[in-house]
Amino acid sequence: MGTNPECAVHWIRKGMRLHDNPALLAAINFKNEQGKHVLLKPLYILDPHFRKFMRVGPNRWRFLQQSLEDLDKKFRALGSRLYIVRGKPEEVFPDLFKTWNMKLLTWEYDIEPYAKKRDVLIEDMAKDNKVKVEQHVSHTLYNTNLVLKANGGKAPMTYQKLVSVLESLPKPKPPLDAPTSLPKECQGVHHPVEHLVPSMEEMGLDGATIPPCKFPGGETEALKRLNKSLANKEWVRKFEKPNTAPNSLEPSTTVLSPYLKFGCLSVRLFYHELKKILATGPHAKPPVSLLGQIYWREFYYVVGSDTENFDKMKGNKICCQVDWDTNEKYLEAWAHGKTGYPFIDAIMRQLRLEGWIHHLARHAVACFLTRGDLYLSWEDGQGVFEELLLDADWAMNAGNWMWLSASAFFHQFFRVYSPVAFGKKTDKFGTYIKKYVPELVKYPVEYIYSPWEAPLSVQKTAGCVIGLDYPRRIVNHEEIHKKNIARLSAAYKRNKANNASQGSSSSSPSKKSSKSSPAESKAKRKSTTQTTLSFSKKKKE
DNA sequence: CCTCGAGTTGCGAAC
DNA sequence: TGTTCGCAACTCGAG
């Protein structure tokens, strides 16, 4: 077994691309003790964790599968290939270190809690096996640890604060080119029949039962989409998110998010291409501009990297503790687009079908699920989004759910989206609803957003009787949203009182004040910033 | 030319 | 990156 040639492994997790991939380049450029390049083995591990503990729906599995195939194709064109290994990383690597004769292992730095813990473990294992490890930051525009450091060791808790911190840091470097060729020694296809890219069937997908693919995965598609999105410079410069429609029949925004989430597209490439266009004329500004959208991503990544239990309410110091209800029937109705509110249902059905919905559509359904109407926990919604969204991204999913439920960052809980009025602003004829809720296709315009108001004769003529062919609305928005505002107001008062009493006693044992270096990769960091975070939150209201 | 009323637009306040 | 309401100011066609 030790006969295998020395190799440098680039472990792909996110960062599913060849362009602007410093960890990949490090593996390619690696030289052994003889000063020679070694065989390159780009590796992807199908980790059962993502089957058992994460909710991944068919659309995202397919996106992953397509991204892997694209990678394999690109590596094969360079005289290499993609190696796919099944199993838990901590069980897989000890064997690979030896049998693959691994000299170097590189990967892209990941801030997610599961990844952080995993990577510390693998790094230790690698060291025990005399395998060098290199980590590179390339999933975010800025190194989250350096952002924290620049802000006095704690996360900026407002968007504006984050932007000012980013502006104080050195500008992001230009993106790195994809390798166009590999050194001779890096090339070679070993274990030719093993470690193949999984088929749709292996990923548990019946190709026939999932809808046609609207947003195919992979770097090739990502770069195509980037070029298409940035082709109209005027549109790019004028882009303001609030002025794009949540309910257009074709996306009114770029839909680059799935590609950024998987790292098929480098955010740094996006940033630099965008900057070039912005320099050509007057343009919109953050937070609403396209650049502003990139900064939102940085914002949630930075806060998420520094907040314990960021994806939960309990034990999460920045999250308002709210007495959310538990109601399986409501959750089920919401998740499957059967609330009886056509605008809400159309969005949720588009989400399940296509894996992507507009940002403002996410606002509408998230508000509806939580503080607006159903008063269910944002964690319930987070789970459904995690399953169904192609771009489900840990930090942004949790952060945005806290925002929309007024649990953190955003506190104007009396600003409630109307599930009837909101969609009308950009789609007064309800064509979006008719596309995704075809039961209502024959409804007259005046009832399309509120079909329960249609007289029975109209319902019959339209071939869709409410309560029979389409659900009766599960809550009365006009009544329930006022009650919910009152409940949330009470929760805020309780929260404020709790925070005040905890703050004054000041007996919290979490005063470790360890100023660990940002490059430091041991996981036991955190907790020092937590007390200050809850204060800055209080200041906001 | 004026007056009237219906309809619109824009703003601030309250929830 | 809310909705609704009331109010004032305005437009515009009818008479």
At A285, which helix (H) or strand (E)?
none
Q: Residue A504: its pLDDT value, please?
A: 56
Count CB atoms within 10 A of the CB of residue A243.
11
A480 C-beta less than 7 Å away from strand B = no
Give the range among A55-64, A96-105, A148-157, A495-504 with minimum mean pLDDT. A495-504
Query: pLDDT-based confidence at A534, cuts 50/70/90?
Result: very low
Give the CA A131 to C1' C8 distance in Å.
Answer: 76
* Cα A421 to Cα A289, A418, A447, distances in angstroms: 25, 5, 12
- What's the first-to-final CA gap in chain A, in angstroms? 64
Chain B nucleotides close to protein (CB under 7 A) are: 15
pLDDT at A356 over 80: yes
A417 nearest nucleotide via C1' and CA: C2
Say how far apart CA A471 and CA A462 lie, in whole Å: 15
Give the CA A467 to C1' B14 distance in Å.
Answer: 35
A487 C-beta less than 7 Å away from strand B = no
Give the CA A445 to C1' C13 distance in Å.
Answer: 28
More confident residue, A421 or A525: A421
Say how far apart CA A154 and CA A377 lie, in whole Å: 27
pLDDT at A508 over 60: no
Say how far apart CA A230 and CA A222 lie, in whole Å: 12
More confident residue, A529 or A183: A183
Give the CA A522 to C1' B2 distance in Å.
Answer: 84
A414 nearest nucleotide via C1' and CA: B15
Give the CA A169 to C1' C11 distance in Å.
Answer: 54
Backbone φ and ψ of A476, nearest 5°: -95, 105
Give the CA A482 to C1' B13 distance in Å.
Answer: 17
Q: Which of A174, A175, A182 is nearest to A29 (CA)?
A: A182
At A12, which helix (H) or strand (E)?
strand A7-12
Q: What is the percent of chain A where pLDDT is above 90?
A: 84
pTM: 0.92
A242 C-beta less than 7 Å away from strand C = yes
A414 C-beta less than 7 Å away from strand B = yes
Q: Residue A514: its pLDDT value, please?
A: 40
Amino acid A9 reads V
Q: Residue A54: its pLDDT value, please?
A: 81
- For the stretch A310-334, pLDDT in tens is 999 999 999 999 999 999 999 999 9
Query: pLDDT-based confidence at A210, cuts 50/70/90?
Result: confident
A239 C-beta less than 7 Å away from strand C = no
A363 C-beta less than 7 Å away from strand C = yes
Q: Could you give the angle at which helices A378-388 and A328-335 cross, rounded to 10 degrees?
A: 30
Count CB atoms within 10 A of the CB of residue A521.
17
Q: Residue A217: its pLDDT value, please?
A: 97
Give the CA A428 to C1' B8 distance in Å.
Answer: 18
pLDDT at A359 over 90: yes
Q: What is the percent of chain A where pLDDT is above 70?
A: 92
A415 C-beta less than 7 Å away from strand C = yes
Domains (ranges, CATH) in chain A? 7-137 (3.40.50.620), 328-534 (1.10.579.10)
pLDDT at A506 over 60: no
Q: Residue A302: its pLDDT value, please?
A: 98
Chain C nucleotides close to protein (CB under 7 A) are: 1-4
Query: pLDDT-based confidence at A520, cuts 50/70/90?
Result: very low
Percentages (nearest 5) of helix, strand, coil residues in chain A = 50, 5, 45
A414 C-beta less than 7 Å away from strand C = yes
Give the CA A51 to C1' C5 distance in Å.
Answer: 51
The answer to whether A470 and A451 are in contact (CB under 8 A) is yes
Query: pLDDT-based confidence at A153, cuts 50/70/90?
Result: very high
A412 nearest nucleotide via C1' and CA: C2
Give the CA A351 to C1' C11 distance in Å.
Answer: 44
Q: Residue A180: its pLDDT value, please?
A: 98
